[in-house]
Amino acid sequence: MFASQPLNGSKPEQYAQLAGQARALLAGERDRVANAANLCALVTHALPDLNWVGFYFYDGRELVVGPFQGLPACVRIPLDRGVCGAAARTRSTQRVDDVHAVADHIACDAASHSELVVPLLDGERLIGVFDLDSPRPARFDAEDQAGLEALAGIYVASLR
Residues that bind ligand SME (CB under 6 A): 52, 73, 77, 82-85, 105-106, 108, 112, 115, 131, 133
160 by Cβ neighbours in 10 Å (0-12 / 13-18 / 19+) ranks as exposed
The nearer residue to ligand SME, 32 or 105, going by C-beta atoms, is: 105
Q: How far is the CB of 45 from ligand SME (least distance, A)?
A: 18
Please identify the residue of the shown chain whose CB is closest to the bound ligand SME. 82
Q: How far is the CB of 1 from ligand SME (least distance, A)?
A: 29
Q: How far is the CB of 50 from ligand SME (least distance, A)?
A: 11
Q: How far is the CB of 148 from ligand SME (least distance, A)?
A: 15
> What is the C-alpha separation between 21 and 127, in angstroms, rounded?
22
The nearer residue to ligand SME, 67 or 82, going by C-beta atoms, is: 82
CA 126 to chain centre: 14
The nearer residue to ligand SME, 21 or 108, going by C-beta atoms, is: 108
Q: How far is the CB of 82 from ligand SME (least distance, A)?
A: 3
The nearer residue to ligand SME, 21 or 119, going by C-beta atoms, is: 119
Query: In angstroms, what CA-CA distances link 58 with 2, 42, 111, 120, 127?
Result: 30, 23, 26, 9, 6
> What is the C-alpha separation between 18 and 15, in angstroms, rounded?
5
CA dihedral 22, 94, 97, 32 (to 10 degrees): -30
Picking from 87, 99, 82, the residue whose alpha carbon sits closest to that of residue 133 is 99
> What is the C-alpha separation between 128 and 2, in angstroms, rounded?
27
The nearer residue to ligand SME, 131 or 151, going by C-beta atoms, is: 131
